Structure 1
Amino acid sequence: MMNKKKLIRIIVPVCIVIAVAAIWFMKNVNSNFDTSDMAAGTNPNDSDKVYSDVNFTLEATSIELDVLKAYGLPIIIDFGADSCIPCKEMAPVLKTLNSEMRGKAIIKFVDVWKNRQAANGFPVQVIPTQILINSDGTPYVPSAKMDIEFTMYALKENNQHIFTTHQGGLTEEQMRAILADMGVSR
């Protein structure tokens, strides 16, 4: 009887130590696990980058621009509404490009009638309005070959360019041309 009690006093702490070690081991192995094969989106031009943590969903209720810029991908944010006619015409284009460009660009749509606060801080005067941002986080500056009208916004104090927008609807061809001008390849 005495030997059983001694054996239990030894086995229980040893089992606890083994369990703690197993938990520690599993947490550390999983945190170092290479998720490149499971990424939600990868950039084929940069096989070392993994974009598994990017939320590539098209519809957004708010925009955290600093978070989006940190991924180093070109960004197009379309501020519109589900019931606006030009917005409805752009919806399939946004859906297609959002799906095709995962890992190459971030394309978002915000319904400003449902999420008015999401447009705060952005120069949205009419809908649809697209905000265009380069992969380095700077406002997009269209090349001379672009035959699309853009509006550039700058700070009055120092004339620093802070936003490039397009007001109105864009066709799929125009959106693809903008993305190509931003450096996105098919």
Structure 2
Amino acid sequence: MNWAKAARILVPVLIILAVAGMWLLKNSQNGSNGTGSPGVEDSNPDFALHVTENMNLEELRPYGIPIVIDFGADSCIPCKEMAPVLRQLNEELRGEAIVKFVDVWKHPSLVEGYPVSVIPTQVFIDSDGKPHMPKDPDSLGLKMYSTKDTNEHVFTTHEGGLTRDQLLWVLEEMGLER
């Protein structure tokens, strides 16, 4: 009889403690929301991989992190090869870098204003919000674009596919802190 009473009390208490423990474990990741960076929500459109409407770079620059915009298409072979890398880096580096993909065939108006003549083309913006100024532009075949009248550097791009290691190398050169 004593064991039956103890079991009736002990079992619900253990269940409550287990549920509370799981809740605490899930929600106490040092103030993080599971994205790897405090304050960067998974639903924040600024960190979404796929761009389907006009993107305002002025809203992204204040984050103070590197930005990579890949212009490609779902049906382009080199773009398909890069897609898993972009997806992984977008998830892994959320809050540390902004990684975007624009499908130029589905959303042709989104490429306007960018120097894109082939796909894939990546546009690189440093963590200070300015076009990336590579130490050695020839190492990856990076192109730098300037205005004709003022010679102001406005874009740094790469044409063609990049590997994960190559993208990480450029991101680190642009200020990615890992």
Answer yes or no: same fold by TM over 0.5: yes
- Structure 1 match to 2:63: 71
For 2:127 and 2:68, how far apart are their aligned partners in 1? 11
Tell me: higher relative CO, structure 1 or 2? Use CA pairs within 8 A at least 6 residues apart.
Answer: 2
What is the aligned-residue RMSD (CA, Å)?
2.0
For 1:67 and 1:128, how far apart are their aligned partners in 2? 24
Q: 2:31 aligns with which of 31, 37, 40?
A: 37
Q: What is the TM-score with the length of structure 1 in the denominator?
A: 0.72
Give the share of equivalent positions with the same residue, in percent.
Answer: 50
For 2:49 and 2:129, how far apart are their aligned partners in 1? 19
Q: What letter corresponds to residue 52 of structure 2 in structure 1?
A: T
For 1:144 and 1:164, how far apart are their aligned partners in 2? 12
Tell me by how many angstroms 1:66 deviates.
1.2
Report the structure number with the largest CA radius of gyration: 1
Equivalenced residue count is 146
Tell me by how many angstroms 1:145 deviates.
8.5
Tell me by how many angstroms 1:122 deviates.
0.8
- Structure 2 match to 1:148: 140
> Once the two structures are superposed, what CA deviation does each residue of 1:131-186 show, in whole Å capped at 9, x if it has no partner?
00011110001123872111101011110000000001001110011111112133
Asked if 1:61 is matched to 2:61, the reply is no
- Structure 2 match to 1:32: none
Tell me by how many angstroms 1:40 deviates.
6.7
Asked if 1:51 is matched to 2:40, the reply is yes
Tell me by how many angstroms 1:64 deviates.
1.5
Q: What letter corresponds to residue 56 of structure 1 in structure 2?
A: F
C-alpha contact (below 8 Å) 1:78/1:108 kept by paired residues: yes
Asked if 1:138 is matched to 2:124, the reply is no
* Unaligned 5+ runs, structure 2: 1-29
- Structure 1 residues 40, 132: closer, same or farther in 2, change over 3 A? farther
Tell me, what secondary structure is at the counterpart of 1:139? Answer: coil
C-alpha contact (below 8 Å) 2:131/2:153 kept by paired residues: yes
> Once the two structures are superposed, what CA deviation does each residue of 1:34-76 show, in whole Å capped at 9, x if it has no partner?
xx93657565xxxxx7334563221111322111112221100
